[in-house]
Amino acid sequence: MALEDRLDLRGAVIAFDLDGTLVDTAPDLIGTLNWLLSEEGVAPLHLDEARQFIGRGARWMIERGYQEAGVMLEAGRMQPLFDRFIARYNDHIADESRPFPGVVEALESLRAGGARLAVCTNKLTGLSVNLLEALDLARLFDAVVGADAAPAAKPDPRHLEAAIAAAGGSSDRALLVGDAATDAGAARAAGVPLILVSFGYTETPAAELRPDILIHRFDELPDACVRLLGACDA
């Protein structure tokens, strides 16, 4: 039975984290970070160890890169490093980044069921839109709200609430799909159901963040949304 036949999702908003949830952006993000570190004479990071540093914005990644190398980041250096990081990353935003398997099919299924979709990410809004457009995903979303377009970044609930509102919905009929503690914190504080993916970028294993549902593949997402939104008032 098709999703739209099992549950009317009209009026529901499903918000998504971006990095590590919808798109495997680690190769380009860590590649940019390592380019910057190398330019500064700082030891680069291995992709696997640096994946967990993604999700709190570029400044956090740069800071952690210096910390992992045991190098002091001097006061006043962050802004020029950040500016260089953003410029380089924007030029290489989709060199190797790709949607996780099943993402497009799952998003199309949710839209067919009547849901409105939003991106709620600590990435800058412009970078997020550029990435989504480069991967032909922008067409599937009703709103994209980066940290710079919200009153505060995740895990502050106002970020999630702003994304839901931008997509034309309300928190009483919405959920968040993410991968890390920032997503869990935002969803819990906003009183919104939480789905986490098990394959994302997180310092704390997703299962330990106690999501309402943990999924391992995107073909599990439509049914998970049905289960959680079915418990909401239509």
Confidence (pLDDT) at 130: 97
Confidence (pLDDT) at 75: 82
Q: Please determine, for residue 1, whether its predicted confidence score (pLDDT) is greater than 60.
A: no
- Mean pLDDT confidence for 183-209: 97
- Mean pLDDT confidence for 66-71: 91
Q: Considering the entire predicted model, what is its pTM?
A: 0.91
Mean pLDDT of the chain: 93
Q: Which one is predicted more confidently, 181 or 51?
A: 181
- The percentage of residues in the chain with a pLDDT greater than 70, rounded to a whole number, is 95
136 flagged as catalytic: no
- Mean pLDDT confidence for 53-60: 86
**Chain-centre distance of CA 90, in angstroms?**
17
pLDDT band for position 74 (cuts 50, 70, 90): confident
Task: Give the pairing of strands 13-16 and 98-99.
Answer: unpaired
Cβ contacts of residue 111 below 8 Å, gap of 6+? 117, 140
Confidence (pLDDT) at 6: 58
Q: Which one is predicted more confidently, 5 or 32?
A: 32
Which residue in the list 17, 24, 179, 183 is annotated as catalytic? 17
Q: Please determine, for residue 201, whether its predicted confidence score (pLDDT) is greater than 90.
A: yes
Q: How many helices (H) and strands (E) does the chain have?
A: 10, 8
- Mean pLDDT confidence for 139-161: 97
- Mean pLDDT confidence for 99-119: 97
Contact (Cβ atoms closer than 8 angstroms) between residue 195 and residue 211: yes
Q: Please determine, for residue 170, whether its predicted confidence score (pLDDT) is greater than 70.
A: yes
- The percentage of residues in the chain with a pLDDT greater than 90, rounded to a whole number, is 83
Distance separating alpha carbons of residues 73 and 51, to the nearest angstrom: 21
pLDDT band for position 232 (cuts 50, 70, 90): low
